[in-house]
């Protein structure tokens, strides 16, 4: 199944980046494929393992909804989420660490297609790569904008 990785260097402090990216609703700002992302359940508590998000994405002209759950939270250094619907499971691993006066973000996403959708994988790789490239560029712009 396709796995895509991108590295983004930003001048923004790691604590700021960590707080921003741990709140996955911010995907609306940095992920060009995200149409909307909302937290499911209590919104007045910190994000923890088990926190869930509903993410509506647009890909190749079609909208799809995935329910993401935080499966690992590494305070100040990363978050791992698993999103799922009937055709795909997405495993997103976002890591951040201090780097040259700012932060280095390493983002990896693995797509596990289900059923007949698995047959489309060879035709989707180019679109997924393009989306990852655009997402990395937008993430850098947004994160750089958080710097004082």
Residue-range domain boundaries for the chain:
3-145
Q: What does CATH list as the number for 3-145?
A: 3.30.530.20
- pLDDT surpasses 80 at 82: yes
Give tens-digit pLDDT for 3-41.
999 999 999 999 999 999 999 999 999 999 999 999 998
34: CB partners within 8 A, 6+ apart: 27, 28, 55, 56, 57
Q: Model pTM greater than 0.85?
A: yes
Give dist(CA 89, CA 112) in Å, integer. Answer: 5
pLDDT of 116: 74
By mean pLDDT, which of 65-69, 99-103, 127-131 is the weakest? 127-131
pLDDT band for position 107 (cuts 50, 70, 90): very high
In degrees and rounded to multiples of 5, residue 95 shows phi and psi of: -120, 145
State the sign of the Cα–Cα–Cα–Cα dihedral 99, 53, 72, 89: negative
């Amino acid at each position: 199944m396709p796995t895509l990785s991108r590295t983004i260097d930003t001048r923004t402090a790691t604590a700021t980046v960590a707080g921003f990216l741990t709140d996955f609703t911010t995907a609306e700002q940095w992920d060009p494929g995200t149409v909307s992302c909302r937290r499911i359940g209590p919104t007045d508590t910190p994000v923890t393992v088990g926190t869930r998000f509903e993410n509506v994405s647009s890909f190749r002209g079609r909208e799809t909804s995935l329910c993401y759950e935080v499966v690992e939270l590494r305070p100040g250094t990363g978050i791992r989420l698993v999103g799922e619907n009937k055709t795909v499971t997405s495993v997103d691993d976002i890591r951040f660490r201090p780097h040259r006066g700012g932060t280095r973000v390493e983002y990896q996403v693995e797509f596990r297609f289900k059923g007949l959708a698995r047959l489309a994988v060879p035709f989707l790789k180019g679109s997924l790569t393009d989306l990852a490239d655009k997402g990395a560029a937008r993430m850098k712009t947004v994160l750089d904008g958080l710097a004082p």
